[in-house]
Amino acid sequence: MCYLCKQPIEIMAEKVEIQRQTVHKECFRCCVCDKYLMPGYCAMDDGLCQIDFLFNYFGCLWFCQNHMMLGSGEKLDLLKQKMRNAGAGGSIQ
Ligand SMILES: [Zn+2]
Ligand SMILES: [Zn+2]
């Protein structure tokens, strides 16, 4: 089962192992820019994962090398922007 989308992973499907969890390769993307991630070249933001509305929307928050360097505040702004663009604006405080 994919840790990110909670869907079963086909035996032949491309998958990635992160923190002892298996996920679909296509599910493992930067939550800001949707770039595919490689284990070891990405980072999860524990602090942002604690924010309920972000976690509910994105699941675990992984960032590519470009975005992992940003401060939590900057990442939060980018994610809110992305949610607004996706039409989820009403649920953001
Ligand atoms: Zn998945
Ligand atoms: Zn990114």
Indicate if the pLDDT at residue 32 is higher than 70: yes
Centre of ligand 2 from the C-alpha of residue 84, in Å: 17
pTM of the model: 0.83
- 45 C-alpha to center of ligand 2: Å? 13
Q: Domain boundaries in the chain? A: 29-86
User: Please, what is the Cα angle at 35 between 5 and 3, to 5 degrees?
Assistant: 20
Q: How confident is the model at residue 1 (pLDDT cuts 50, 70, 90)?
A: very high
Place of tokens 């923190």: 19
CA 27 to centroid of ligand 2, rounded, Å: 14
Q: Cα(17) to centroid of ligand 1, in Å?
A: 12
Q: Could you tell me the distance, in angstroms and rounded to a whole number, from the CA of residue 69 to the centre of ligand 2? A: 10
Per-residue pLDDT at 14 exceeds 60: yes
What is the spatial distance between Cα 12 and Cα 87, in angstroms, rounded to a whole number?
Answer: 34
19: left (phi over 0), alpha (psi -120 to 50) or beta: left
